[in-house]
Chains A and B, each alone.
Chain A
């Protein structure tokens, strides 16, 4: 059942209604003849004109149409596609300097067009948009992009074309629409985007989400951006914008969580949040969209030539979810801690290529951690891979562990507890220099998917011989990483960039073979400061793979050590990950999260 339009939930937790084509058609019927709403006064610049737009082939190679429009008023048009029959529809137009943007649906159909015209060059970009094209989620809007020109009688056809390229890659903007909607938008890839809703929800902590995007250059600092909220609402947003004037005009179309149709044009104003590094060869401007091209080992059946096709990461298609009963049955006898690779999602293959040898410096030590918001843990480290622990003074247990020393006296340690109803694992920073400990306490049997990890953040003091008493001081959440982007190279062909887009979000972007930023996804996370330049981070691959990933990141050495905690059909595993890092830069976003950065 649909609820609020924008509930305070992550988008991947909202039970999106499976709208049928008939549902969608019914909702469109009342608006297609009227056209989109607009908070601002619509432009009259097209009134009385006839505009013929000749399109090249689309991005997938499909034939481009010729669209002949006449605009008798500021809200009604007649459209003839190729040599077809004219159709009446409602529309709205908005101007931005030389740019005219207009959009409309076609009555009695599930499709329409959004058009960007540069009146100076007569170049045009046409987005054909339609519902029902993705069989599994008909509310998700498809789009085909055509470049073309406005034919002017008596003039040679314009040879200027808008162009897909990578010029926007790595940029970030804050936008506020004329209807009050505020977003942070990270153009973090050539084909994906990451955005944060600042006004539509009061989600705490605020989360960013990722979706496929188009990035098209008009010229002279003006661009076109699209976002399709695939795997979520399916809402489509397109806008033309000027990076120098920081203005935008565009369209939002689709169904929100209440299944209400949003169909409006908007103008807006923005702020530049910064620019992070690009990693392509100097001079390379190649951009998206990425077509679905399965690599070796990828079994998904895709067709790159189908109209509207593009690469979309659909994580739930490959996620083997389990019930609580299944989890509880398999984990006790199938818990693999720092074993060799044990199966899907173990994280013990190429992502461990750059992991150092576990430290033996804890061997022979004993320590106690008193967590302020958790148990008291006593430890005896009996070997490089075995420790004894007891929880809250209970019975001693012997388990396998590994630890790595990130800087002198600071270790990252991981192990799984025995006999816990939710199969807890502790991934802990032991700070023998300052007498502090911070634990990301992974656990299973979470409310949504039983084999998806949850994470408690435990802060405490570390008591051991010769270790100072920190008093009330603890490691703490930090703003240092907020807006920052770090690349993690695990092995050839496998480099990911983390973008810490909000205090509670980690987004990851996969580099292509030519070092463009490509597919992107994101989950909840946290950022804790251990020292200047040493940060303890985590993320959860929610509604994706279920893994709790942790990283102890050293920005002085640009190296990390991390531990993954994952439950799949092979059981529960804890595995090391390690990468060689680069700092890609940092967006200036702290002001948007004041009072929100302290967990």
Chain B
């Protein structure tokens, strides 16, 4: 059974900000944590959300800088995701809520869906030297933007949260 938090983006970010602060500073009584009245679990959950959010940022930064292959180290199996080559840039709407964000009860896995803007490049055609060189440095005949949904699965292992699957639809 999963615990769907139906987190809004605002609360998601707010939660992340809370995690960044010491427990005392965000008003969680130390005694309450010690008593394990649920606050400890809540704090752990906030930490997980924050970690996944950072993982997403790393994924976007790596993809936009070096393509899918550059993101391989963020995946549990160290394999690059199968995102089409003509996708040259991804951006998440940071001001919006994820469509869904779910952390499993055991805290070991999570799923999320995000609205995503995708830049799709139109391929330069031809095999002339100039065209080959232009393609090698990422040039395209044109770029179109499209709204897509980015679906992600995550797993928590010994090294923290990793991505297990990314899909763009």
Contact = CB atoms under 8 A, between A and B. Distances in A.
A305 B66 contact: yes
Interface in A149-176: none
Contacts of A313: 133, 136
Contacts of A344: 127
Interface string A344-375: 11110111000000000000000000000000
B142 A296 contact: no
Contacts of B146: none
A545 interface: yes
A346 B126 CA distance: 8
Contact of B136 (A298, A301, A303, A490): A298
B139 A351 contact: no
Q: For B67, B69, B123, B138, which residue has the most chain A Cβ atoms within 10 angstroms?
A: B138
Q: Is the interface of A mostly helix, strand, loop or mixed?
A: loop
A510 B139 contact: yes
A294 B67 contact: yes
Interface stretch (A75-83, A463-471, A512-520): A512-520
Nearest to A290: B137
Nearest to A547: B129
A351 B65 contact: no
B70 A519 contact: no
Contacts of B28: none
Given A293-B67, A302-B69, A318 B142 contact: no
Interface in B120-140: 121-140
Contacts of A547: 128-129
A280 to B, nearest CB: 15
A584 interface: no
Given A291-B65, A304-B67, A496-B130, A519 B125 contact: no
Interface in B134-168: 134-143
A492 B69 CA distance: 27
B135 A349 contact: no
A296 B73 contact: no
Q: Is the interface of B mostly helix, strand, loop or mixed?
A: mixed
Interface residues of A, number: 47
A454 B133 CA distance: 22
A149 to B, nearest CB: 24
Interface string B58-92: 00001001110110010000000000011010000
A303 B130 contact: no
Q: For B67, B137, B141, which residue has the most chain A Cβ atoms within 10 angstroms?
A: B137
Contacts of A303: 66, 69-70
A519 B124 contact: no
A521 B129 CA distance: 10
A349 B125 CA distance: 7
Contacts of A302: 69
B137 A519 contact: yes
Interface string A296-340: 111011111100000101010010000000000000000000000
Contacts of A311: 136-137
Interface residues of B, number: 33
A579 to B, nearest CB: 10
Nearest to B67: A293
A296 B86 contact: yes
A38 B65 CA distance: 40
Nearest to A301: B69
A295 B140 CA distance: 7
Contacts of B133: 313, 510, 518-519, 521
Nearest to B87: A296
A382 interface: no
Nearest to A523: B129
Nearest to A494: B134
Interface in A556-599: 564
Nearest to B125: A349
A493 B141 contact: yes
A101 interface: no
Given A311-B136, A513-B140, A345 B128 contact: yes
A507 B137 CA distance: 17
A214 interface: no
B166 to A, nearest CB: 17
B43 to A, nearest CB: 30
A188 B53 CA distance: 41
A305 B138 contact: no
A303 B137 CA distance: 13
B129 A513 contact: no
A343 B139 CA distance: 21
B140 A493 contact: yes
Interface string A493-508: 1101000000000001
B131 A512 contact: no
Given A313-B136, A513-B138, A293 B66 contact: yes
Nearest to A510: B133
A544 interface: yes
B128 A491 contact: no
Contacts of B122: 296
4 nearest CB pairs, A to B? A304-B66, A344-B127, A295-B135, A349-B126
13 contacts: A294-B67, A294-B138, A295-B121, A296-B86, A297-B135, A300-B136, A305-B70, A345-B128, A491-B141, A494-B124, A494-B130, A541-B129, A547-B128
Given A296-B88, A351-B128, 14 more contacts: A292-B66, A292-B136, A295-B121, A295-B136, A297-B123, A298-B135, A304-B65, A304-B69, A305-B69, A318-B127, A344-B127, A492-B141, A493-B139, A513-B140
Interface of A: 290-298, 300-305, 311, 313, 315, 318, 341, 343-347, 349-351, 490-494, 496, 508, 510-513, 518-519, 521, 541, 544-545, 547, 564
